[in-house]
Structure 1
Amino acid sequence: MESLIAAVRKQEEAARFLAWPGDFDLDRGDHVEEVHLASGAALEGFAGDGAGGTYFFCGEGGEERPILYADSEGGAALVAIGLPELVRLLLVVPWWRNCQAFTDEESHELEAEYLEDMPDLMARRDSTAAALGLDLPAQAEALARLRKVATQSGGDFVLIFTPEGHTYEPLFTI
Protein backbone atom coordinates (compact mmCIF):
# COMPACT_ATOMS: atom_id res chain seq x y z
CA MET A 1 0.00 0.00 0.00
CA GLU A 2 1.29 3.44 -0.96
CA SER A 3 2.05 5.87 1.84
CA LEU A 4 -0.17 8.93 2.17
CA ILE A 5 2.88 11.18 1.81
CA ALA A 6 3.70 9.49 -1.53
CA ALA A 7 0.06 9.85 -2.62
CA VAL A 8 0.05 13.57 -1.81
CA ARG A 9 3.31 14.07 -3.70
CA LYS A 10 1.87 12.21 -6.71
CA GLN A 11 -1.49 14.05 -6.74
CA GLU A 12 -0.72 17.65 -7.74
CA GLU A 13 -4.25 18.87 -6.96
CA ALA A 14 -4.08 17.34 -3.47
CA ALA A 15 -0.65 18.88 -2.81
CA ARG A 16 -1.94 22.30 -3.97
CA PHE A 17 -5.04 22.12 -1.73
CA LEU A 18 -2.99 21.03 1.27
CA ALA A 19 -0.52 23.86 0.58
CA TRP A 20 -3.43 26.32 0.48
CA PRO A 21 -5.81 26.59 2.22
CA GLY A 22 -4.33 23.78 4.35
CA ASP A 23 -1.02 25.65 4.85
CA PHE A 24 0.75 22.26 4.86
CA ASP A 25 3.84 21.76 2.71
CA LEU A 26 5.81 18.51 2.63
CA ASP A 27 8.90 20.45 1.49
CA ARG A 28 9.09 22.47 4.75
CA GLY A 29 9.98 19.83 7.33
CA ASP A 30 12.91 21.61 8.98
CA HIS A 31 12.08 23.42 12.20
CA VAL A 32 13.92 26.71 12.77
CA GLU A 33 14.90 25.82 16.35
CA GLU A 34 16.53 22.83 17.97
CA VAL A 35 13.78 20.99 19.86
CA HIS A 36 13.12 17.64 21.49
CA LEU A 37 10.31 15.86 23.32
CA ALA A 38 10.49 15.87 27.12
CA SER A 39 9.87 12.12 27.05
CA GLY A 40 12.97 11.54 24.94
CA ALA A 41 10.90 9.92 22.18
CA ALA A 42 11.99 10.41 18.58
CA LEU A 43 10.86 13.58 16.79
CA GLU A 44 10.84 13.81 12.99
CA GLY A 45 9.86 17.01 11.17
CA PHE A 46 8.12 16.11 7.91
CA ALA A 47 6.09 19.16 6.83
CA GLY A 48 5.61 22.82 7.64
CA ASP A 49 3.53 25.90 7.03
CA GLY A 50 4.21 29.29 5.51
CA ALA A 51 4.72 30.99 8.88
CA GLY A 52 7.56 28.74 10.02
CA GLY A 53 5.51 26.13 11.88
CA THR A 54 6.47 22.45 11.67
CA TYR A 55 4.60 19.15 11.78
CA PHE A 56 6.51 16.37 13.57
CA PHE A 57 5.97 12.63 13.75
CA CYS A 58 6.52 11.52 17.35
CA GLY A 59 8.06 8.21 18.34
CA GLU A 60 9.06 5.29 16.15
CA GLY A 61 7.13 3.91 13.21
CA GLY A 62 5.50 5.23 10.07
CA GLU A 63 2.61 7.52 9.18
CA GLU A 64 0.47 6.12 12.02
CA ARG A 65 2.57 7.97 14.63
CA PRO A 66 1.17 10.86 16.69
CA ILE A 67 1.70 14.28 15.06
CA LEU A 68 2.80 17.36 16.97
CA TYR A 69 2.53 20.84 15.45
CA ALA A 70 4.89 23.58 16.65
CA ASP A 71 4.46 27.16 15.51
CA SER A 72 7.29 29.66 15.14
CA GLU A 73 6.18 31.61 18.21
CA GLY A 74 6.88 28.93 20.83
CA GLY A 75 3.51 27.16 20.86
CA ALA A 76 2.89 23.47 20.25
CA ALA A 77 0.11 20.90 20.39
CA LEU A 78 -0.50 17.30 19.49
CA VAL A 79 -2.95 17.62 16.57
CA ALA A 80 -3.55 14.11 15.24
CA ILE A 81 -2.83 10.44 15.74
CA GLY A 82 -1.53 9.46 12.34
CA LEU A 83 -1.21 11.23 9.02
CA PRO A 84 -4.67 10.24 7.69
CA GLU A 85 -6.27 11.98 10.70
CA LEU A 86 -4.16 15.11 10.14
CA VAL A 87 -4.98 15.28 6.43
CA ARG A 88 -8.70 14.89 7.20
CA LEU A 89 -8.42 17.79 9.67
CA LEU A 90 -6.63 19.95 7.09
CA LEU A 91 -9.27 19.16 4.47
CA VAL A 92 -12.31 19.74 6.69
CA VAL A 93 -11.04 22.53 8.96
CA PRO A 94 -7.99 24.13 7.32
CA TRP A 95 -8.47 27.07 9.72
CA TRP A 96 -8.08 24.76 12.76
CA ARG A 97 -5.45 26.99 14.43
CA ASN A 98 -8.07 29.74 14.78
CA CYS A 99 -10.67 27.43 16.37
CA GLN A 100 -9.57 28.01 19.94
CA ALA A 101 -13.00 27.06 21.35
CA PHE A 102 -13.33 24.00 19.06
CA THR A 103 -16.95 24.92 18.27
CA ASP A 104 -18.86 24.30 15.07
CA GLU A 105 -20.14 27.91 15.20
CA GLU A 106 -16.62 29.33 15.38
CA SER A 107 -15.56 27.07 12.50
CA HIS A 108 -18.51 28.04 10.31
CA GLU A 109 -17.67 31.75 10.75
CA LEU A 110 -14.11 31.09 9.61
CA GLU A 111 -15.36 28.89 6.79
CA ALA A 112 -17.53 31.75 5.50
CA GLU A 113 -14.44 33.98 5.30
CA TYR A 114 -12.55 31.34 3.33
CA LEU A 115 -15.50 30.79 0.99
CA GLU A 116 -15.58 34.51 0.14
CA ASP A 117 -12.05 34.22 -1.24
CA MET A 118 -12.34 30.66 -2.53
CA PRO A 119 -15.91 29.83 -3.67
CA ASP A 120 -14.80 26.42 -4.99
CA LEU A 121 -13.32 25.41 -1.62
CA MET A 122 -15.72 22.53 -0.96
CA ALA A 123 -15.47 21.11 -4.48
CA ARG A 124 -11.66 21.22 -4.30
CA ARG A 125 -11.70 19.65 -0.83
CA ASP A 126 -13.97 16.81 -1.96
CA SER A 127 -11.86 16.21 -5.06
CA THR A 128 -8.70 16.08 -2.96
CA ALA A 129 -10.26 13.64 -0.48
CA ALA A 130 -11.40 11.39 -3.34
CA ALA A 131 -7.95 11.49 -4.97
CA LEU A 132 -6.36 10.43 -1.67
CA GLY A 133 -9.04 7.83 -0.88
CA LEU A 134 -10.12 9.53 2.35
CA ASP A 135 -13.61 9.75 3.81
CA LEU A 136 -14.21 13.10 5.51
CA PRO A 137 -15.75 13.68 8.93
CA ALA A 138 -18.16 16.53 9.67
CA GLN A 139 -16.57 19.75 10.95
CA ALA A 140 -17.93 19.18 14.46
CA GLU A 141 -16.44 15.67 14.52
CA ALA A 142 -13.04 16.87 13.27
CA LEU A 143 -12.97 19.64 15.89
CA ALA A 144 -14.03 17.28 18.69
CA ARG A 145 -11.22 14.91 17.73
CA LEU A 146 -8.70 17.79 17.63
CA ARG A 147 -9.86 18.94 21.06
CA LYS A 148 -9.51 15.44 22.51
CA VAL A 149 -6.06 14.85 21.01
CA ALA A 150 -4.69 18.31 21.84
CA THR A 151 -6.04 18.58 25.37
CA GLN A 152 -6.20 14.98 26.63
CA SER A 153 -3.48 13.07 24.78
CA GLY A 154 -1.13 15.99 24.25
CA GLY A 155 0.27 15.97 27.79
CA ASP A 156 2.55 13.10 26.82
CA PHE A 157 4.06 15.18 23.99
CA VAL A 158 5.74 18.20 25.57
CA LEU A 159 8.10 20.02 23.22
CA ILE A 160 11.28 21.51 24.65
CA PHE A 161 13.43 24.27 23.14
CA THR A 162 16.71 22.37 23.57
CA PRO A 163 19.27 25.21 23.98
CA GLU A 164 17.43 26.79 26.93
CA GLY A 165 15.39 23.87 28.26
CA HIS A 166 12.12 25.83 28.03
CA THR A 167 8.87 24.10 27.17
CA TYR A 168 6.73 25.32 24.30
CA GLU A 169 3.39 26.80 25.38
CA PRO A 170 0.19 24.86 24.63
CA LEU A 171 -1.54 26.10 21.46
CA PHE A 172 -4.92 25.41 23.05
CA THR A 173 -6.03 26.06 26.61
CA ILE A 174 -9.28 24.79 27.97
Structure 2
Amino acid sequence: MESLITAVREQNEAARFLAWPGDFDLGRGDHVEEVHLASGAALEGFAGNGAGGTYFFCGEGGEERPILYADSEGCAALVAIGLPELLRLLLVAPWWRDCQAFTEGESRELAAEYLQEMPDLVARRERAAAALDLSLSDQADVLARLREVAVRAGEDFVLIFTPEGNPYEPLIRN
Protein backbone atom coordinates (compact mmCIF):
# COMPACT_ATOMS: atom_id res chain seq x y z
CA MET A 1 0.00 0.00 0.00
CA GLU A 2 1.32 3.42 -0.97
CA SER A 3 1.93 5.83 1.89
CA LEU A 4 -0.40 8.78 2.26
CA ILE A 5 2.56 11.16 2.39
CA THR A 6 3.65 9.87 -1.02
CA ALA A 7 0.07 10.19 -2.29
CA VAL A 8 -0.14 13.81 -1.11
CA ARG A 9 3.13 14.59 -2.89
CA GLU A 10 1.95 12.91 -6.10
CA GLN A 11 -1.68 14.10 -6.18
CA ASN A 12 -1.62 17.78 -7.19
CA GLU A 13 -5.31 18.32 -6.40
CA ALA A 14 -4.88 17.01 -2.86
CA ALA A 15 -1.57 18.80 -2.29
CA ARG A 16 -3.08 22.13 -3.41
CA PHE A 17 -6.08 21.79 -1.08
CA LEU A 18 -3.93 20.71 1.84
CA ALA A 19 -1.58 23.65 1.20
CA TRP A 20 -4.54 26.03 1.19
CA PRO A 21 -6.97 26.15 2.88
CA GLY A 22 -5.46 23.28 4.91
CA ASP A 23 -2.25 25.25 5.61
CA PHE A 24 -0.35 21.95 5.61
CA ASP A 25 3.07 21.72 3.96
CA LEU A 26 5.17 18.55 3.91
CA GLY A 27 8.24 20.74 3.30
CA ARG A 28 7.99 22.40 6.73
CA GLY A 29 8.77 19.56 9.14
CA ASP A 30 11.39 21.44 11.18
CA HIS A 31 10.08 23.01 14.37
CA VAL A 32 11.29 26.47 15.40
CA GLU A 33 12.42 25.24 18.84
CA GLU A 34 14.13 22.20 20.30
CA VAL A 35 11.40 20.03 21.81
CA HIS A 36 10.81 16.51 23.09
CA LEU A 37 7.97 14.45 24.56
CA ALA A 38 7.85 14.19 28.35
CA SER A 39 7.45 10.43 27.97
CA GLY A 40 10.72 10.16 26.08
CA ALA A 41 8.93 8.65 23.05
CA ALA A 42 10.28 9.48 19.61
CA LEU A 43 9.12 12.70 17.98
CA GLU A 44 9.38 13.23 14.20
CA GLY A 45 8.39 16.52 12.58
CA PHE A 46 6.97 15.80 9.13
CA ALA A 47 4.92 18.86 8.11
CA GLY A 48 4.12 22.38 9.15
CA ASN A 49 2.11 25.47 8.39
CA GLY A 50 2.79 29.06 7.37
CA ALA A 51 2.55 30.37 10.93
CA GLY A 52 5.45 28.21 12.16
CA GLY A 53 3.41 25.32 13.55
CA THR A 54 4.66 21.76 13.18
CA TYR A 55 3.00 18.36 12.90
CA PHE A 56 4.91 15.54 14.63
CA PHE A 57 4.54 11.78 14.49
CA CYS A 58 4.86 10.41 18.04
CA GLY A 59 6.49 7.12 18.94
CA GLU A 60 7.74 4.38 16.66
CA GLY A 61 6.08 3.14 13.50
CA GLY A 62 4.64 4.63 10.34
CA GLU A 63 1.74 6.84 9.36
CA GLU A 64 -0.55 5.17 11.92
CA ARG A 65 1.29 6.89 14.79
CA PRO A 66 -0.39 9.58 16.93
CA ILE A 67 0.12 13.11 15.57
CA LEU A 68 0.89 16.11 17.76
CA TYR A 69 0.57 19.69 16.51
CA ALA A 70 2.68 22.43 18.11
CA ASP A 71 2.18 26.08 17.22
CA SER A 72 4.88 28.75 17.32
CA GLU A 73 3.35 30.34 20.44
CA GLY A 74 4.15 27.51 22.87
CA CYS A 75 0.90 25.53 22.66
CA ALA A 76 0.50 21.92 21.55
CA ALA A 77 -2.14 19.19 21.28
CA LEU A 78 -2.50 15.67 20.05
CA VAL A 79 -4.74 16.17 17.00
CA ALA A 80 -5.08 12.75 15.35
CA ILE A 81 -4.32 9.09 15.68
CA GLY A 82 -2.72 8.40 12.32
CA LEU A 83 -2.27 10.37 9.13
CA PRO A 84 -5.65 9.43 7.60
CA GLU A 85 -7.41 11.03 10.59
CA LEU A 86 -5.29 14.19 10.34
CA LEU A 87 -5.95 14.55 6.61
CA ARG A 88 -9.70 14.11 7.17
CA LEU A 89 -9.55 16.92 9.74
CA LEU A 90 -7.68 19.20 7.33
CA LEU A 91 -10.04 18.38 4.47
CA VAL A 92 -13.31 18.71 6.40
CA ALA A 93 -12.44 21.51 8.85
CA PRO A 94 -9.32 23.36 7.70
CA TRP A 95 -10.36 26.10 10.16
CA TRP A 96 -9.91 23.80 13.18
CA ARG A 97 -7.17 26.00 14.73
CA ASP A 98 -9.67 28.87 14.88
CA CYS A 99 -12.21 26.83 16.87
CA GLN A 100 -12.36 27.72 20.53
CA ALA A 101 -15.47 25.98 21.82
CA PHE A 102 -15.73 23.24 19.18
CA THR A 103 -19.47 23.78 18.89
CA GLU A 104 -21.40 23.02 15.74
CA GLY A 105 -22.45 26.68 15.51
CA GLU A 106 -18.88 27.93 15.75
CA SER A 107 -17.77 25.50 13.07
CA ARG A 108 -20.67 26.51 10.79
CA GLU A 109 -19.67 30.19 11.14
CA LEU A 110 -16.04 29.44 10.30
CA ALA A 111 -17.12 27.23 7.38
CA ALA A 112 -19.30 30.06 6.06
CA GLU A 113 -16.33 32.45 6.18
CA TYR A 114 -14.16 30.01 4.23
CA LEU A 115 -16.95 29.33 1.71
CA GLN A 116 -17.41 33.06 1.16
CA GLU A 117 -13.72 33.35 0.27
CA MET A 118 -13.63 30.04 -1.64
CA PRO A 119 -16.99 29.16 -3.19
CA ASP A 120 -15.45 26.00 -4.71
CA LEU A 121 -14.18 24.71 -1.34
CA VAL A 122 -16.55 21.72 -1.14
CA ALA A 123 -15.84 20.61 -4.71
CA ARG A 124 -12.08 20.98 -4.17
CA ARG A 125 -12.31 19.04 -0.89
CA GLU A 126 -14.22 16.21 -2.58
CA ARG A 127 -11.67 15.96 -5.39
CA ALA A 128 -8.77 15.98 -2.90
CA ALA A 129 -10.40 13.26 -0.77
CA ALA A 130 -11.04 11.14 -3.86
CA ALA A 131 -7.43 11.57 -5.02
CA LEU A 132 -6.24 10.28 -1.63
CA ASP A 133 -8.93 7.58 -1.45
CA LEU A 134 -10.23 8.98 1.86
CA SER A 135 -13.84 8.89 2.98
CA LEU A 136 -14.94 12.03 4.81
CA SER A 137 -17.06 12.54 7.91
CA ASP A 138 -19.13 15.62 8.66
CA GLN A 139 -17.73 18.66 10.50
CA ALA A 140 -19.35 17.84 13.83
CA ASP A 141 -17.91 14.31 13.89
CA VAL A 142 -14.43 15.44 12.83
CA LEU A 143 -14.26 18.19 15.45
CA ALA A 144 -15.70 15.94 18.17
CA ARG A 145 -12.99 13.40 17.38
CA LEU A 146 -10.30 16.12 17.48
CA ARG A 147 -11.49 17.23 20.91
CA GLU A 148 -11.67 13.63 22.16
CA VAL A 149 -8.13 12.86 20.96
CA ALA A 150 -6.68 16.11 22.31
CA VAL A 151 -8.32 15.96 25.72
CA ARG A 152 -8.31 12.22 26.45
CA ALA A 153 -5.37 10.64 24.64
CA GLY A 154 -3.42 13.90 24.61
CA GLU A 155 -2.65 13.69 28.32
CA ASP A 156 0.05 11.16 27.44
CA PHE A 157 1.67 13.44 24.84
CA VAL A 158 3.10 16.46 26.66
CA LEU A 159 5.55 18.47 24.55
CA ILE A 160 8.52 19.96 26.40
CA PHE A 161 10.60 22.98 25.37
CA THR A 162 13.95 21.21 25.82
CA PRO A 163 16.28 24.15 26.72
CA GLU A 164 14.15 25.20 29.71
CA GLY A 165 12.35 21.95 30.51
CA ASN A 166 8.96 23.69 30.36
CA PRO A 167 5.85 22.01 28.97
CA TYR A 168 3.92 23.59 26.13
CA GLU A 169 0.45 24.87 27.07
CA PRO A 170 -2.53 22.81 25.94
CA LEU A 171 -3.78 24.06 22.57
CA ILE A 172 -7.17 22.46 23.20
CA ARG A 173 -8.64 22.52 26.69
CA ASN A 174 -11.45 20.64 28.36
* TM-score category, normalised to shorter length: over 0.9
What residue number does 1:136 align with?
136
Cα deviation per residue 1:71-122 (whole Å; 9 max; x = unaligned)? 0000000000000000000000000011121111100100110111100000
Q: CA separation in 1, counterparts of 2:157 and 2:61?
A: 16
What residue number does 2:78 align with?
78
The more displaced of 161-170 and 97-106 is 97-106
User: Which residue type is aligned with residue 65 of structure 1?
Assistant: R
Aligned-pair CA distance for 1:17? 0.4
Consecutive unaligned residues of structure 2, counting only runs of 5 or more, are none
**Secondary structure of the equivalent of 1:172?**
coil
What residue number does 1:69 align with?
69
What residue number does 1:19 align with?
19
What residue number does 1:28 align with?
28
The more displaced of 79-88 and 100-109 is 100-109
- Percent identity, please: 80
Give 1:118-157 correspondences, 5 Å limit. Answer: 118-157=118-157
Q: CA separation in 2, counterparts of 1:103 and 1:86?
A: 19
Q: CA separation in 2, counterparts of 1:136 and 1:125?
A: 9
Aligned-pair CA distance for 1:36? 0.1
TM-score w.r.t. length of structure 2:
0.99
What residue number does 2:9 align with?
9
Consecutive unaligned residues of structure 1, counting only runs of 5 or more, are none
What residue number does 2:43 align with?
43
Any runs of at least 4 consecutive aligned residues in structure 1 with deviations exceeding 2 A, and if so which? none
Q: CA separation in 1, counterparts of 2:80 and 2:26?
A: 16
